[in-house]
Structure 1
Amino acid sequence: MEFKSGIIMWGFIVFSPLAHADISYIDKNHILNTLTDNIEQQYVEVKKIDKISDALTVLKTSSEFTSSQSQEQFASLLTAELQKFDKHFTVQWQNPNKSQNNKTKREPWFTKLSRKNSGFNRVEVLDGNIGYVDFWGFAELSKNSKNVVESVMGFVSNADALIFDLRNNGGGSAEMVQFISSYFLKPNTHLNSIYSRVTDSTREYRTFANVNGSIHLDTPIYILTSNDTFSAAEEFAYNLKHLERATLVGERTKGGANPWQFYELGSGFRAGIPIAKAINPKTKTNWEAIGVKPHIEIPQTNALDVAYKMALNEVKKSVSDEHQIKDINDKLEELSNSLPLKEK
Structure 2
Amino acid sequence: MKNATSYFLCLLLLFCTSYLCNGQTTSKPAVKVDHLIESISASLDKHYVFPGKAQAIIAFLQTQTKKKAYSSSSKDPQKLAKQIQADIYKIHRDPHLLVEYNPNLSGQIQGKVVPSEEEIRRSKIFEREKNYLFKKVEVLPGNIGYLLINGFVEHITEAKPIIASALGFLANTNAIIIDLRENQGGEPDMVSQVESYFFKEKTRMNDLVNRSNKDTTFYYADPAKTDSLTLSMPIYILTSRKTFSAAEDFSYAMQQAKRATIVGEITGGGAHPTMPFTVGQGFVVSISFARSLNPVTQTNWEGTGVVPDFQVDASKALVKAQELIFRERQIIAETKKEKQKLDYLINALHVNDDLLTLPLDQFDKITGTYGPLVIYRDGNRLFCKFADNVTELAHISKNLFVLDGNAHIEFVKDSKGSYSKATLFVSDGGIFEEQRK
Matches within 5 A, 1:18-167: 18-22=21-25, 26=31, 31=36, 33-50=38-55, 52-53=57-58, 71=78, 74=81, 78=85, 85-91=93-99, 94-96=102-104, 113-167=127-181
Unmatched segments (≥5 aa) in structure 2: 109-118, 353-437
Contact 1:79–1:90 (Cα < 8 Å) also in 2: no
8 Å CA contact 2:5, 2:187 repeated in 1: no
> What is the aligned partner in structure 2 of residue 222 from structure 1?
236
More RCO (CA 8 Å, sep 6+): 1
What residue in structure 2 maps to residue 307 of structure 1? Answer: 321
Q: Does 1:204 align with 2:218?
A: yes
Which entry has the higher C-alpha Rg, 1 or 2? 2
Q: Residues 246 and 57 (structure 1 numbering): CA distance in 2 closer, same or farther, change over 3 Å?
A: farther
Q: Which amino acid aligns with 2:49?
A: V
Residues 200-258 of structure 1, C-alpha deviations (whole Å, 9 max, x = no match): 222211122421353123x1111111221111111111111111111111221111112
Q: For 1:251-304, what per-residue CA distance to the aligned partner results, in whole angstroms no more than 9, with x for missing partners?
A: 211111122333212233333322221111111111112211111122222222
8 Å CA contact retained: 2:263, 2:309: yes
Query: Per-residue deviation at 1:86?
Result: 3.9
1:110 offset after TM fit, Å? 6.5
Answer whether contact 2:3 2:154 (CA < 8 A) is retained. no
What percent of counterpart residues are identical? 31
What secondary structure, in the 3-state scheme, does the structure 2 residue paired with 1:312 have? helix
Residue in 1 that maps onto 2:2: 4
CA distance in 2, matches of 1:99, 1:51: 29
Deviations 1:141-168 (A, max 9, x none): 4322111111111111111111111111
Residue type of the partner of 1:49?
A
Shift of 1:122: 1.7
Once the two structures are superposed, residues 80-136 of structure 1 have per-residue CA deviations (whole angstroms, 9 ceiling, x without a partner) of 976x74454455554449999xxxxxx999665444111122211111111111111
1:182 matched to which residue of 2? 196
Q: How does 1:232-271 map to 2 (within 5 A)?
A: 232-271=246-285
Larger strand percent: 2
For structure 1, the 5+ residue unaligned runs are 101-106, 339-344
Question: TM-score, normalised to structure 2's length?
Answer: 0.63
| Aligned pairs, number | 327
Letter in 2 for 1:329: D
In structure 1, distance between residues paired with 2:79 and 2:164: 43
State whether residues 8 and 259 of structure 1, in contact with CA within 8 Å, keep that contact through their aligned partners in structure 2.
Answer: no
Residue 193 in structure 1 maps to residue 216 in structure 2 = no
Letter in 2 for 1:214: L
Give the equivalent residue in structure 1 for 2:394.
none
Structure 1 residues 138 and 62: alpha-carbon distance in aligned structure 2, compared to 1, 3 A threshold: farther
**Offset at 1:24?**
7.0
